[in-house]
Amino acid sequence: MKKVLIFTLITVLLVGSFQNSYAISNKNKSKLEKVHGKSISIKNVNQKLGINTKLAKKSVPQIFYDYFTEFEKEENLGTAVVKGHLEIEGNRYDFKTEGEVEKKQLKSGELIEGALKGNIVIEGDEYKLLIGFAKKNKKVCLSMNIYNESDSMVMIFGKPIISENDMKEIKEKKSKETKKKNSNMYNFTSIKNEKMCKLKSVTRIFEYIKSESAYMKNSTIDDERGVKVKLYQEENNGELLLLKLRSYAEDIEEALGNYDPFSKSVELYEVKAGFKFSKGKCDGVHPSEDDDGSSVDVFNILYDVLNCFGIPTNTLAAAINGSKGYLNVYSSTLTPYLKTRAGSNLELDFDDEYVPFFVIGIDGNQGKVAGKFYAEMEYKEKYYIPMDGYVYNYYESKKAEDDFSLDVTD
């Protein structure tokens, strides 16, 4: 059997046409607009972070920051960097974050939005930092989730820039794209891809090996799970491994809604899963990346892959809406992984089914493989501030990870 490494991707890139563009803005300042109900109050935030006042009278927390965004020609996915400092009660705490953002055209203007990751040190302790970046018509709103293994504080700086009408427009566009793409779902199974022809001669059957789950990294959010991953091996000690994943957006939504009535919804935003081999290795890569190593049209390949390996495509149809895929793949033979991210025309939903996500081929010549398998997820909360508008807050799960040691027959 020819050994292959199959990256099964589940996400969407919007189709758009934009010119090369970048923006730099220095010396920005925004004051605290709202503390998420989960964090209760700024007084409670200060207590949790161990912040003592240096001022004679109380002051409103502020952030001072610079930002940079860049988009390549005809791309709606770009990069954003935000760095600066958070000022609370006369104390200054430096931070820097970066990540990918999405550009979308609305009637009210061009919206750039996404999650940026970084770190911030407060009173000698290092915290993870997730910033929800939103920019429209030169105005910026930032949500800051400051967290560690035991707690998280979510604060919103600057007036929300996503209005009620904007949110209605985003929802309507997503609904139209979903209906259009779902109407073409049935055609995907008939698409032929020559790269897969050698795989179609046989059907693969997988056997369950083990599973692992993890809770939410951000204060565990009422001890809610954040991700669960199941490991399967091709029957008869075969040379293929499969990861199936499940998300918990509905449970997290309910928990956050109990904290704060202005928390309106939660959706799965980003998924990452992979392997770390200590014995044996992967062998081969399929499908390969584009020349730039980033994106590939994979949705048609996806259906053929799943059919080839005997995995029901109706599970996928329930979880995915879309026709193109964004591929972020690290194809190391020892530490391969796959990361997908939702877009404005995509709703990832792994809540109701364990979704086949990642299939790899392994080298069976040594007779045994060992290492770790893992998965982690990121969630996006739609949060409403009355009379102002909407903000997106982001939350990460812990990593669900476990060891494996398997016999392999060549």
Q: Where are the domains of the chain?
A: 21-161, 177-407
Model pLDDT, residue 220: 61
Q: What is the mean pLDDT of the chain?
A: 76
Q: How far apart are CA 154 and CA 270, in angstroms?
A: 19
Q: Domain 21-161: which CATH class?
A: mainly beta
Model pLDDT, residue 318: 41
Candidates 162, 144, 161; CA nearest to 153 is: 144
In this structure, of 77-91, 188-202, 276-290, 358-372, the range with the lowest mean pLDDT score is 188-202
Alpha helices, H only, 265-359: 299-308, 313-319
Contact 403, 372 (CB under 8 A): yes
Contact 275, 395 (CB under 8 A): no
Candidates 284, 346, 273; CA nearest to 316 is: 346
In the predicted structure, residue 107 carries a pLDDT above the cut 70: yes
Model pLDDT, residue 37: 81
pLDDT tens readout for residues 145-168: 998 877 788 999 999 999 999 999
Candidates 139, 141, 123; CA nearest to 131 is: 141
HSE-up (13 A, CA, CB side) for residue 62: 11
Model pLDDT, residue 333: 79
In the predicted structure, residue 119 carries a pLDDT above the cut 90: yes
Position 99 confidence tier, pLDDT thresholds 50, 70, 90: very high
